[in-house]
Structure 1
Amino acid sequence: MDLELRHLRMICAIAEAGSVTKAAAALGLAQPALTTQLKRIERTVGGPLFHRGRRGTRPTPLGDLVLARARLVIPAVNGLHRDVTAFVGSARPGQFRIGATNGPVSGGLVQRLATAYPNSPVTMHATWSADEICARVLDGRLDYALVGACSPSIPSPDAGLVWQPVCVDPVWVLVGAGHRLAGRDEVPLAEFAGERWATAPGDGCFNDCFAAACARAGFTPPPPYEMDVASCIDLVAGGAAVVLCQGIVRPIPGVVALPLEGSPLRWRHLLGWDPAGPAAAGGPEVAALAVQSYLDVVAIRPRFAAWLGANPGFGAQPVTPPLSAARVSRR
């Protein structure tokens, strides 16, 4: 693993907070996810960066060295990002460049933007990596990030973007039509103990959140197969695995989406942008169009729409002042 800017920001956050737990809350991460990332960073640099004791977390001599360099590098790179974003925005006006991970909103948002702004090109960069998208927004190659994260966390909290929630979906489970649970209206997560799982790749904390939900349900899942979405569906249809999915998932022949009792996992889509970049002024309007795009999809999913009607708090989210990492940590 190469040492990246986001790793330096994590190290600084831990030093400033005085504990990994407090730093995770400030960054909008699950504590186990930050601990795992810190161990990877320490392996990369060749030694421990922090002493952990009753009085909190203190830098080691190696940690002091890395922190001294990080506190010089981070402001310099932030300034470079601002200058590049301003230059690119002034040189290439009138565009909507969006990066998106897999979700229900991107197609409709492209259509709505093209309709509302017929003379402004709309481009979409699709990838499984939210971190990659956030990096592209910060360096001016994209205007907006349309990505997902476990609720209530935010993607790449150390990136410095602000976020507008678009929707909050329950996480359901896809099973084959012949699965033993396929006829149920909803199923406790515990009844999936012993199943094989498959998942699409991602770089957030979802796998950690899933493992924690399984632990609360009384079992430990085996490591999931990680593969593209189409291959996951093939495994489910063939009865070889089950897959976690968003409740708004489209109907798929041979596959059934089952709600989880009590909705132990939640997934939300967010639109993010650089608050210092030229696209920031249009952020709320683009977010509103994203919400409308989500509602368009709900309208053609009657089963999911009925579920939303019986479960307040899920579904489309009102456009409000965008979230930062600090605001998320207080929610």
Structure 2
Amino acid sequence: MRSTGPAYPRGMELEVRHLRALCAIADAGSLHKAARQLGVSQPSLTTQLRRIERALDGELFLRERTGCRPTPFGRTVLGRARPLLADMAALVAEARAQAHGPRLRIGSTASRALPGWLRRLHLRLPDTETSLLVDVSANALLRMVAAGQLDVAFVHEVEGSPLRVPEGLQTHVLMEREPQFVSMPRDHPAAGQEIVSLRDLAADRWAVDPSVDGEWDGLRRVFAGAGLDPPVLHTDYHTATSLIISGEAVAPCQPTSGPREDMAIRPLCGDPLAVRLLLATRPGAHAEVYEDLRAAYREAALRTPPYRAWLHHHASPLLEAA
């Protein structure tokens, strides 16, 4: 039974960072993913959670083999913590805006459209201070926009794995279905083909970053649908590039990935892997931000021959805009 004594044991008071840790664990669904998002080690986050639970004299999460989920008591605490964090973030954002003048805080998952987007924004908004945060987690970026820590976020949503868009955000669809290509060693037997099938790569090891929201689940669904079960390497995509070049793996990649001398990038037959590209904004954000992003993405897409050919073959609206 929960104690009716003091709210906090001696030497322990809850702080904003503790509330942020609880929300990160709940949103990520596991201590490992939450620790990675928070930039701390998993043992450190586990210890912090235990201290918070002792401070509140109640269990906040059920530890299961598949991850963590809030207890009824934990849901109550999270229900109070989230608005507190949102109010604190909004307070800080408003104070900084008044102190430093106009600012545009951008979040994004990795994209080759970013340099062109920033260039256009600097020309359009020369007196606005622009910052950029790149993160592998689209859901984390969306939460930051909702909390007032970012103004806009350019994210991708893996097909079949919907993002958790917080209430109140405005979303604009840049690409309803962007195909994912595959990168492979330059001397791979399938590299001589203009378009490759999944079965051409069934014997290869596939590198995938499980921290990218929906990436592994989406790839697993596509494999299952094709009746394939290739070996998988869980790694980050920076390391994956080295593995591909050395002939150890293949990996899904964005179609805007430019040609390289040390690897081959090819479309997949039937486009089984795809994402939806979204721009999420806070109400009242600059309307021009979306148009500049669209122009930058179009620029990146058209300078990549395989993707340009794909866009022509599918009569993409992106070409009409050009």
**TM-score, structure 1 as length reference:** 0.69
| CA displacement, residues 195-227 of structure 1 (integer Å, 9 cap, x when unaligned) | 111234633011101001000010123232413
1:114-151 per-residue CA deviation (whole Å, 9 max, x = no partner) reads 11122223222233343443444344443222222214
Trace 1:73-92 onto structure 2 (pairs within 5 A): 73-92=81-100
Preserved contact between residue 113 and residue 293 of structure 2 (Cα < 8 Å): yes
Distance 1:210 1:314 in 2: 27
* Residues in 2 aligned to 1:223 and 1:317: alpha-carbon distance in whole angstroms: 39
Query: What residue in structure 1 maps to residue 303 of structure 2?
Result: 300
1:46 match: secondary structure: strand
Closer/same/farther in 2, CA of residues 124 and 75 from structure 1, 3 Å limit: closer
SS at 2:190 equivalent: coil
* Secondary structure, aligned partner of 1:66: helix
Q: 1:20-57: per-residue Cα shift (whole Å, max 9, x none)?
A: xxxxxxxxxxxxxxxxxxxxxxx972368xxxxxxxxx
User: Which residue does the alignment assign to 2:285?
Assistant: 281
1:311 aligns with 314
Q: 1:149 is paired with a residue of what secondary structure?
A: strand
Please give the secondary structure, in 1, of the residue aligned with 2:154: strand
Superposition pairs of residues 85-164 of structure 1, within 5 angstroms:
85-151=93-159, 155-158=163-166, 161-164=169-172
Quote how far apart the aligned CAs of 1:267 are: 2.0
Matched, 1:173 2:177: no
Deviates more, 1:254-263 or 1:153-162: 153-162
What's 2:211 paired with? 202
Contact 1:271 1:287 in 2 (8 A): yes
Instruction: Identify if the C-alpha distance between structure 1 residues 69 and 313 changes in structure 2 by more than 3 Å, giving closer, same or farther.
Output: farther
Name which structure has the greater RCO, CA cutoff 8 Å, separation 6+: 1
- The letter for the 2-side match of 1:102 is A
Contact 2:151/2:285 (<8 A) preserved: no
- C-alpha distance in structure 1 between counterparts of 2:23 and 2:306, whole Å: 44
Q: CA deviation at 1:152?
A: 6.6
The 2-side partners of 1:109 and 1:79 are apart by: 30
- Once residues 105 and 148 of structure 1 are traced to their aligned partners in structure 2, the CA distance between those partners, rounded to angstroms, is 13
Counterparts in 2 of 1:97 and 1:78: CA distance versus 1, 3 Å? closer
2:56 aligned partner: none
Size of the alignment, in residue pairs? 268
**Aligned letter for 1:206?**
E
Letter in 1 for 2:226: A
Distance 1:68 1:285 in 2: 40
Equivalent residue number for residue 212 of structure 1: 221
SS of structure 1 residue aligned to 2:232: coil
Q: Deviations over 1:148-182 (max 9, x none)?
A: 22147554434764322223420111111211111
Q: 1:193 matched to which residue of 2?
A: 202
Structure 2: runs of 5+ lacking an equivalent:
1-19, 30-58
Superimposed CA distance per residue, residues 227-260 of structure 1 (whole angstroms, 9 cap, x where no aligned partner): 342x322222221110110122111113111211
**1:232 has 2:235 as partner:** no
User: So what's the TM-score if we normalise by structure 2?
Assistant: 0.71
Q: 76, 79, 91: which one pairs with 1:71?
A: 79
Contact map agreement 2:209 2:235 (CA 8 A) in 1: yes
Tell me the amino acid that sits aligned with residue 176 of structure 1.
P
What whole-Å deviation, never above 9, does each CA across 1:268-303 have from its counterpart, x for those lacking one? 33222233xxxx331x32011000001111231233
Q: CA separation of 1:246/1:89 partners in 2, compared to 1, >3 Å: closer, same or farther?
A: same
Q: 5 Å matches for 1:257-272?
A: 257-272=265-280
Identify which range, 177-186 or 205-214, moves more after superposition.
177-186
Confirm whether residue 247 of structure 1 aligns to residue 255 of structure 2: yes
Root mean square deviation, CA, Å? 3.3
Q: Answer yes or no: is the 8 Å Cα contact 2:173–2:277 preserved in 1.
A: yes
Q: Is the 8 A contact 1:246 1:267 kept in 2?
A: no
- Which stretch shows the higher mean deviation, 250-259 or 85-94? 85-94
Distance in 2, Cα, partners of 1:224 & 1:210: 12
1:45 pairs with 2:54: no
1:191 Cα deviation (Å)? 2.9
- Could you tell me which amino acid in structure 2 is paired with residue 300 of structure 1? R
Kindly indicate whether the alpha-carbon contact (under 8 Å) linking 2:210 and 2:216 is maintained by their aligned counterparts in 1: no
